[in-house]
Amino acid sequence: MLDAINRLQGYVSGMSLSVLKKDIKTIEAATRALEVIGEAVGQLDDKLKKRYPEVPWQRIKDFRNVVVHQYWQVDVEILWTIINEKLPLLRKQIQYVLAEEKQR
């Protein structure tokens, strides 16, 4: 998940929303990275997810389903918001989960 988050943020680094809207390759790369993140969440053990309820596991998985099954409905502005507002927090949460799980 961290690798996909890092790649995704790298794809849009220095890019504005207006530039992203015109860059179909980056939009598709970004949606693919979100798909990978959601798929990874789906593979996690339910016990782990229950230990960290502050992470929006189900919302991540649900968005993955939209990206995979209804990709034509993905709004670039929502994608932009996820990348810039949600992913930095998710990165911190995943780093925390990994650190905590390493100590178990």
Q: Are 87 and 8 in contact (CB under 8 A)?
A: yes
Judge residue 24's burial from the number of C-beta atoms within 10 Å of its C-beta, 0-12 exposed, 13-18 middle, 19 or more buried. exposed
Q: Are 97 and 5 in contact (CB under 8 A)?
A: no
Q: Which of 59, 64, 91, 104 is flagged as catalytic?
A: 64
Q: Which of 7, 69, 91, 104 is flagged as catalytic?
A: 69
Would you state the structure tokens that stand for residue 23, as one six-digit string?
């860059």
For the question of residue 7 being annotated catalytic, the response is: no
For the question of residue 69 being annotated catalytic, the response is: yes
* Active-site residue set: 64, 69
